[in-house]
Structure 1
Amino acid sequence: MPEMIPLGWFHTILGVGAVVSGFYTVLKYKVISLEQRSGKLYVLLTLIVAGTSLGIYNQGGFGIAHILGVMTLAALLCGVVMEKTKLFGSASKYFQALGYTSTLLFHMIPAITDFLRRLPIGDPFIDTLEDPMLRQFHLAFLLIFVIGLVAQARWLSKSST
């Protein structure tokens, strides 16, 4: 694994802040929204982290991490547009939840991948992106995402009645 460049450190530190503020916001408020201070912090940090991910080329070119960065920016934009414009009327809150919550999943995929490929230093947990351990983490995060999204949808439907 290549050494981390200063942009990588900046990206990683802000990424940890984004993940912490995102999960805090979901646990406390059930959904991420720009109406909450922690929601605003999450959106801002996620915007910076996704943007900086596009400038990190330690794997030889535009790759899956860059695609996730673009997907994160698109999902973030979707969440903001749905929250601010209510483009789809009462259904907008569900698309807002989908957009913002998707960004949490998109944070976790490269986070666990990088963690397992770097630590412990000198003898990382995995050597390849095809490692079964990594796939199990990705599947677990996907399952948590789906369960969380269903829980958010139920909460949103109950809170609007």
Structure 2
Amino acid sequence: MFGITPVGWLHTLGSLPAIPLAGYMFVRHGRIVPRSTPGTAYFVAMLIGAVTAFLVAKQPVSYGFGAVTILLLLAGYGIGHTSIFDRSGRYLETIFLTMTVFLLMVPAATEILRRVPDGHPLVTDPRSPLLVGTQFGLLICLVIGLAVQIIYLRRQAKDGVCANHEAAITE
């Protein structure tokens, strides 16, 4: 079905939970919260998706997406365990982890448009206006989303709620 191999299904089904988990955390907390139960599940799903991308990749750009996703994921989850970055750590953590969502959504949207409906996909040409428009829309969402998150974090820092809020949201 959809021309997906068993390893492709592992890749798809392994990374799929990351989408609703990210959505939940964005709505509930305004960002991905790594030190929470949904944050841990997000990390596992993203890691499965990023690592298995190397097994299913057919284009060189896919290897780049996988490698950059792994680097951003590790940096985003690791930055909270160091005090080197002081106050900027929360901003970097938020930016890195939001970028992983973008790096998940671009190939996901691309693959959906190039495979659905089965046998007669919506997009057959990589330069299709629908595909390019979808990818551009995701880029716009990333830019706006990051801006909103940065503003939200700045307001929290200004109001002095960062430390108390972080402790309260670890689920």
Matches within 5 A, 1:1-161: 3-57=3-57, 59=58, 63-161=60-158
* Residues in 2 aligned to 1:87 and 1:47: alpha-carbon distance in whole angstroms: 25
* Residues in 1 aligned to 2:10 and 2:83: alpha-carbon distance in whole angstroms: 34
- Answer whether contact 1:81 1:87 (CA < 8 A) is retained: no
- Give CA deviations for 1:4-42 in whole Å, capped at 9, x if unaligned: 111111111122211111111111111112222111111
Percentage identity across paired residues of the two chains: 27
* Residues in 2 aligned to 1:29 and 1:86: alpha-carbon distance in whole angstroms: 22
Q: TM-score, normalised by structure 1?
A: 0.92
- How far off is 1:67 after superposition? 1.0
SS in 2 for 1:125: coil
Larger radius of gyration: 2
* Residues in 2 aligned to 1:123 and 1:87: alpha-carbon distance in whole angstroms: 52
CA RMSD, 1 decimal:
1.4
- How far off is 1:115 after superposition? 0.4
Q: TM-score, normalised by structure 2?
A: 0.87
- Give CA deviations for 1:105-138 in whole Å, capped at 9, x if unaligned: 0001100110011011111101121111111001
Q: Which runs of 4+ in 1 moved over 3 A?
A: none
Q: Residue 137 and residue 86 in structure 1: after superposition, are their counterparts in 2 closer, same or farther (change >3 A)?
A: farther
Amino acid in structure 2 at the alignment position of 1:123: H
* Residues in 2 aligned to 1:83 and 1:151: alpha-carbon distance in whole angstroms: 21
Once the two structures are overlaid, the 10-residue window that deviates more, 22-31 or 90-99, is: 22-31
- Give CA deviations for 1:49-84 in whole Å, capped at 9, x if unaligned: 101111114x3xx52122111110111122122222
Greater RCO, CA 8 A, separation 6+? 2
Flag structure 2 segments of 5+ consecutive residues without an equivalent: 159-171
